[in-house]
Structure 1
Amino acid sequence: MTSPAISTHALRKDYGRHIALHGLDLRVPRGSVYGLIGPNGAGKTTTLRMLLDIIRPTSGEITVLGENPRAGGAALRRRIGYVPGELRWGTRLRGEALLRHLAEISGPVRAGAIHELAERLDLDLTRPVRMLSKGNRQKLGLVQALMHEPDLLVLDEPTSGLDPLVQREFLALIREARERGQTVLLSSHVLSEIQQAADDVAVLAAGRVVAEGPVADLRLASVRRIHAMLAGSTADEVRSALQSTPGVESLEVADAPSGGLVRVSATSRGDIDPVLRVLTASTVRELTVEEPDLEESVLGLYEAEPQAPRRRGRP
């Protein structure tokens, strides 16, 4: 059985009396794109920094590419590409000079790879790094993470400051990395990125995982909006049937202006099949189902998660 690219067990991080992470268990399969999402303060950045041995856990176990990050040292770090949540480039070097210097540290970089990535991300490598805008500094960070095609990419809010066209190109690069067998851990609060890129996702709130699994499964747990025009049944019959249908949370049923039709507007949480079975008992003339986005799915999880407890003292 192939070991995961990332594994944590009972991972905990305390900052004084504040508990940033509460016994985090994660398993990221090799060759996958794994999304880590949550509101500010959920523990996303803390988790990523511990995986890279930038900060140390209070307790728990971490394995990255089969090694303990603390023991793996420089050899392990060369197998990882990292984009931090906040990039600070204070150097006077120009973009290309900085990237070539970093390439000497990170390991072999395929000839032409730097310029190919810069062109795809619309990055001017001739400008001094300290003169770059936030968006261009972010592009530079992406190039340095991607250029040596590492086994693992750890990306913390990677599209911050990027325009929509560059964001789309970034997502294409992530898909290509997965096709090459690379693993991507993508932390973001831009939920559309997770929807488009990730295979699986963990939702963090107050230092705990409140949901995890395939992105499609999270969408199943959310609310869909359903609009239908039915024939062959009365409004009272349809209303009565839908009122007793599991998952229906709001409902409007009325005779349509055009004679003989019943207009239905409803919202349904969870499995939509029971609602569809009721609707298809009539003749369906029109049917629209508005799929939820991930934001609707996870907002309820955030709100449902109780506030993380604070410890009164050290154990």
Structure 2
Amino acid sequence: MVAGFRGRKIAVFGDLMLDRYIKGSVKRISPEAPVPVVRVTSESAVCGGSANVAVNLSTLGAVPVLVSVAGRDAAASELSSLLTAAGVSPDFLVRDSAFRTIEKTRVIAEHQQVVRFDREHPALLGHAARKAALAALETALKSGCQALILSDYGKGLLEPATIKAAMALAAKRGVPVFVDPKVEHFQVYRGAACITPNTMEAFGGMRLTVRDGQEAAEQLGREIMRKLALRSLLITQGEHGMTLFTRKGASAETHHIPTRAREVYDVTGAGDTVISTLALTWAAGAAPEEAALAANFAAGIVVGKLGTASVTVEELLESAKSWLKTA
């Protein structure tokens, strides 16, 4: 299955950002306020949002085509360099001088996130930038992409009209669409090949109160499948694993996949890993059940890493071998 990953072209359309990490240790509480004093030992930056989805695809051997909007600022230049270093071309990024490239900075001490602060002004993303991004996406899809991932972080690019236009462009070329969804746009993803909400997003997207238990999750999933006319649905459930719903005629079949995480250090970017692995495995010819299983393996690996991270083919194969030994 993973042999089909290499060279496969996947389009990624959505909100990108620069993730910064300030790491250190805490030995005392500040005399100025009841907060920890972090002695900084290192600082780093990695690709976040849709850029992290693209990096995940590249790490697995695919050829990601990242389409998004960035500002004309230092953060955009740094992000472009990081993408290039990770094997992701920045050529399809639309630059907008009125837009500030999104930055998320996390302060981490003793493997614990202390605080996060964001620099963003999504309201400044204008119609012209979205139009240019859609034109870039159309060009990307014409280049032979075999799947489209919508990475919706609700940061301004993927508004309802843009989502519909992107899905129409994909449908025109017979390209399946995979969505890492935002609650506010849930109803707009109608007809997608698969969407991957977590439990909270699934209930929130349907405007329902969250209910615990596998039976409640399965009832919800069948309703989402019906209402959004999806080919499949993957609800991620944290320590409870994932539940896949696939269309069989007028009904939906359910497949529950137990978690593969050994020890959870950080869930940052786990959704990016799930959607990238799922879409790539599907595009490589796997059945939805096999693609979901691969995504579950990948999620179990990435949550064991600190910070925004990706998964290699070797790690994925090792996790699969471990599962086969215990299955």
Higher RCO (CA 8 Å, separation ≥ 6 residues): 1
Question: Does TM, scored on the shorter chain, surpass 0.5?
Answer: no
TM-score, normalised on structure 2?
A: 0.31
State the TM-score, normalized to the length of structure 1.
Answer: 0.32
| The structure with more helix, counted as a fraction of residues | 2
